[in-house]
Amino acid sequence: EIIMTQSPGSLSVSPGERATLSCRASQSVSRNLAWHQQKPGRAPRLLIYGASTRATGVPARFSGSGAGTEFNLTISSLQSEDFAIYYCQQYSDWTWYSFGQGTKLEIK
């Protein structure tokens, strides 16, 4: 099993500021890494796939980077609607998907 570890567990940031969330894989997943956003009571939403490709309709303030075992999600200027929980997902081993435990992005 590929273990995904996200840091920090929670992050307090003011609107308009930049936020960087991290995800580490226990072994290389190449660029087979996605980021999902989840708001309370709503279905998760795919934001980023292929480590850095934005999904359809995702604003340009969201960017992903990394390869191998280290990945980041950066939100360049936080909007009120961005405060949510973010999960990374590896799909390198597509017969055994795994997710990080999530980073909760809170308003400071």
Partner 1 sequence: QVQLQESGPGLLKPSETLSVTCSVSGDSISSSSHYWAWIRQPPGKGMEWIGSIYYSGVTYYNPSLRSRATISVDTSKNQFSLNLSSVTAADTAVYSCARHVVGSNPCDMWGQGTRVTVSS
Sites of contact with partner 1 (CB under 8 A): 1, 4, 6, 32, 34, 36, 41-46, 49, 55, 87, 89, 91-92, 94-102
DSSP code at position 60: T
Give the nearer residue to partner 1 in terms of CB position, either 14 or 25. Answer: 25
Smallest separation, CB 39 to partner 1 (Å)? 10
Rg for the chain (alpha carbons), in Å? 13
Contact present, 46 and 34 (Cβ < 8 Å): yes
Give the nearer residue to partner 1 in terms of CB position, either 49 or 83. Answer: 49
Instruction: Quote the tokens at residue 25.
Output: 């894989």
